[in-house]
Amino acid sequence: MGGTWSVDDHLADVLRSVRPLEPIELHLLDAQGCVLVEDVLAPVSLPPFDNSSMDGYAVRVDDVAGASEDGPAVLEVVGDVAAGSGSLPGIGPGQAARVMTGAPLPPGAEAVVPVEWTDGGTGGGPAETMAAHSADPSGAGGQVRVHRPVEAGRYVRGKGGDLRAGAVALEAGTVLGPAQIGLLAAVGCATVRVRPRPRVVVLSTGSELVRPGAPLGPGQIHDSNSYTLTAAARAAGAIAYRVDAVGDDAAALRTVIEDQLVRADAIVTSGGVSVGAYDVVKEALTDLEGTVLGGVLPEEQEPGDHGADEAPDGPEPQGSRARRPAPPARGVDFRRLAMQPGKPQGFGLVGPDGVPLFALPGNPVSSYVSFELFVRPALRALMGLDPVGRRTVRARVEPDGSGPLTSPEGKRQFLRGRYEPPADGEETGTVRPVGGPGSHLLGSLAQADALIVVPERTTEVARGDELETVLLD
Ligand SMILES: Nc1nc2c(c(=O)[nH]1)N[C@H]1C(S)=C(S)[C@@H](COP(=O)(O)OP(=O)(O)OC[C@H]3O[C@@H](n4cnc5c(N)ncnc54)[C@H](O)[C@@H]3O)O[C@H]1N2
Ligand code: MOO
């Protein structure tokens, strides 16, 4: 293929090529951010039993009718009911039981009076609190004076009042956040069937790259892309593995990628995709016919069986995966995109399972913007999340400089910006470009929280022009 592609066509090609991962059963906390693939019916009711919403006394309504501070109802205390109590005292006429928040309502009781409506069993004025059971075990006996009447059901949380056993607790398609995970725990589900987080292998290429923490020799720079992209993959919900930078050696790169296939639902490389003499990714991935990356199975392996129980750098955190049915590997296509930054890109499916591989350009801003535009949507599609794209708004551009901003004709430009939401009474927010369009400008990228989209036909942007803005929150 090759040639020049529009941003939209390239994204459509990417999304056509990826399918949601096969669902697996995960422990609740491993499923955070994942999409449920089936309705979950509540195995138990919430609450599972009638219980008190106050620390107080479980009473019969008739016994406290007309009670007041001057004319209290005097009841015999027949026991204590703590949260978790299994054996409950029956409440007969003229009787009450001390009951704690969350404790079951004892049989015979119809309501709870908070301890503040009573003398707390002291024989004195209104109580502010209960005596601790450990300090005063006799508090569970004797008499209590109740100062106010109560209607049936007051301060009682009825069984099933939140959710009835058998009802749908969460629908298929729900994204599991903290509240949803809490609900599943409350109804007793320990595991849940979801689409898993994709495992993403991130690797940089370039002989000039050294790890952060190591001193720079002549001509060397720190590898930042693999950190940016690993962090971006994690922020998108993936499990990301960063691999140390590979030098400009096509055979070595191919071997590293082959080795990483075992733990990859997607692979992201950066660098080596333009037209230089050392553009190693392009060289390593252009002709894959007859190779493992081209889809040929290593000896005696079936698709999906990679002959390894463990990922090279440690155990697979999600247990064994059912792989999706393998789409055919089709090699990596290197193409120019009508965008800036991010012009040179490679994309394709590699290996026997057809793992999507994104070969992003090396310039740091180019690789990050490319990730946002193409990789993040693909990762979300693998997880079954919808929508796959970031939130966009129309915003008025407020350049710092006096003159208009310029943009190359025929290219969609993505400027880095800071977005201000609309002021009170306004409909449109503003966005201020930060730094220039240079794709090496990491300092200003780190100040940005938005990408300003300058359309292909637009070559000049004046103060106040409204443009689509991608919010990177
Ligand atoms: N003659 C042409 N030269 C270039 C063209 C072109 O069309 N004709 N396109 C330019 C554009 S646009 C881009 S983007 C870059 C893409 O180049 P590569 O993907 O081959 O990337 P490299 O050459 O490996 O690196 C480019 C730049 O980025 C730095 N870099 C690379 N990896 C990292 C990393 N992991 N961390 C930090 N910085 C990294 C690298 O040192 C270079 O400065 O090509 C243009 N050239
Ligand atoms: O893609 Mo390059 O991104 O224009 O610097």
Work out the end-to-end distance of the chain between its first and last CA atoms, rounded to an integer number of angstroms: 35
What pLDDT is recorded for position 298? 73
What pLDDT is recorded for position 275? 79
CATH homologous superfamily for the domain 392-471: MoeA, C-terminal, domain IV (2.40.340.10)
Q: Where in the chain is the domain with CATH 2.170.190.11?
A: 51-157
| Residue owning the nearest CA to atom 2 of ligand 1 | 275
What pLDDT is recorded for position 85? 87
Q: Is the CB–ligand 2 distance for residue 343 below 6 Å?
A: yes
Q: Is the CB–ligand 2 distance for residue 342 below 6 Å?
A: yes
Q: Is the CB–ligand 2 distance for residue 345 below 6 Å?
A: no
What pLDDT is recorded for position 326? 57
Residue ranges of the chain with pLDDT lower than 50?
A: 306-319
Cα(308)–Cα(230) distance, rounded to whole angstroms?
24
Is ipTM over 0.95? yes
Cβ(53)–Cβ(113) under 8 Å? no
What pLDDT is recorded for position 131? 77
Q: Is the CB–ligand 2 distance for residue 362 below 6 Å?
A: no
Atom of ligand 1 nearest to the CA of 336: 7
Q: Where in the chain is the domain with CATH 3.40.980.10?
A: 4-23+196-382
- Pocket-testing residue among 222, 358, 363, 369, ligand 1, by greatest number of atoms within 8 A of Cβ: 363
CATH homologous superfamily for the domain 51-157: Molybdopterin biosynthesis moea protein, domain 3. (2.170.190.11)
What pLDDT is recorded for position 296? 86
What pLDDT is recorded for position 315? 38
- Ligand 2 center–CA 368 separation, angstroms: 11
- Ligand 1 center–CA 360 separation, angstroms: 10
- Of 192, 197, 196, 198, nearest to 39 by C-alpha is 192
Nearest bound ligand to CA 413?
A: 2
CATH C-level class of 4-23+196-382: alpha beta
Cα(214)–Cα(210) distance, rounded to whole angstroms?
7
Global pTM reads 0.89
Q: Is the CB–ligand 2 distance for residue 367 below 6 Å?
A: no
What pLDDT is recorded for position 324? 54
What pLDDT is recorded for position 377? 98
What pLDDT is recorded for position 457? 97
Q: Where in the chain is the domain with CATH 2.40.340.10?
A: 392-471
- Which tokens go with 158? 């009825």
Atom of ligand 2 nearest to the CA of 438: 5
Q: Is the CB–ligand 1 distance for residue 225 below 6 Å?
A: yes
Cβ(17)–Cβ(10) under 8 Å? no
What pLDDT is recorded for position 321? 63
